[in-house]
Amino acid sequence: MINLTPTLPKETTYNRFFQSHEHSSLTEQFDGLYLTRKFEKSSQKRRFFKDHPERFLVKASDKHFAGWLSLAFMFIGLAGSFFCAVYLPAWLIFFFGEPFDYHFFIVVLIWNLFWLNLIPWTKRVGSDHIIYFDRLTGRVGYTKAFNHQTEKDEFGNASFAWQDIVCTTQYKTTTQYGSQAHIPYIRHRDFDTYPESEVEVVVSESANSRTYCYLFWEEVCRFMDNTKPLPDVPVYEAVRHLDPVTAAFDKENSRPERFWQDMSFDQQYSIEAKLISEAFDFAFDKPQAEITKPWEAWPIDPSMPKPVLDNKYKFKRVFRQITCGCPV
């Protein structure tokens, strides 16, 4: 069942743009048993655009199965580790006199470490096409091919003017068991001519509310408004000086050079969760003012310090890798 709903307006009303972002991740400083991480490379299609977040907002334009594939392998590994965790105390209590079957433990360990170190290659499974919103030129580009002739951008990709791109939502049955969710679809307003332009966006694992769709589209609309500075959120802090409008605004606003980069990811995540929760009570009708001085709204909490690369962190990282093949 698919229920179509009207096109979402190109406006922002909630004005609470937030996405947690860890600038200096410890995962890059300690690999643990993830020995092949150096082979983990993003696609050439994605790398340039993702390296310039001040200009491009990037979304996958096709369903990519690599993530689901990795999750499936991790789930199997975690299930095996759970069995081991149950078997060991059961053997000690009830079967101590019997031979200990260690073969399954070895199989689970090999499974988890094998798939852990295969991640750089499993990530390349499936389509890697993207859609990117170009704040500088006011256009939207696609890396995939179109049947009809389209304008090309400087990268040789199909490109459309931002005003020709719309977003609709659908209340759609997503599984064979009847689960339903609100899903936003980006497409060209002349969909009959450019059917390849439609992109299904995953906004939440359980998007039973249209609120997630509003939040996603507000993020896109606000990003593409190049008459305003970039929202003051973690993902843009390190590149704010590269956007002229943002740099000028920050100077006038007496913004400190660093704020989000000195805040722990845990505190960022708690702020993000609170803003999403408050969005469910918002009517998305009358605009509320943006938060332009986040250092005053959310002072850094000393009780939530940034993690350090100590033996405790290393142990937790290796433990996750051994028990489920999780790389982080």
For the stretch 245-277, pLDDT in tens is 999 999 999 999 999 999 998 999 999 999 999
Angstrom distance (rounded) from CA 246 to CA 229: 4
Angstrom distance (rounded) from CA 132 to CA 142: 7
For the stretch 13-61, pLDDT in tens is 999 988 888 766 677 788 899 998 888 765 555 778 888 999 999 987 6
Q: Is 167 helix (H, G, I), strand (E, B) or coil?
A: strand
pTM assigned to the model: 0.81
The answer for residues whose C-beta is within 8 angstroms of residue 194's C-beta and 6 or more apart is 146, 148, 150, 160, 187, 188
For the stretch 295-317, pLDDT in tens is 999 999 999 888 888 898 899 99
Across 156-259, the runs of DSSP E, i.e. the strands, are 158-161, 165-173, 180-188, 199-200
Angstrom distance (rounded) from CA 149 to CA 156: 13
Angstrom distance (rounded) from CA 211 to CA 280: 6
* Max Cα-Cα span within the chain: 76
pLDDT higher than threshold 80 for residue 99? yes
What residues does each domain of the chain span? 2-64+127-324
Could you tell me the pLDDT band of residue 219, with boundaries at 50, 70 and 90?
very high
The torsion angles phi and psi of 75, rounded to 5 degrees, stand at -65, -45
Q: How many residues does the chain have?
A: 328
CB 18 within 8 A of CB 292: no
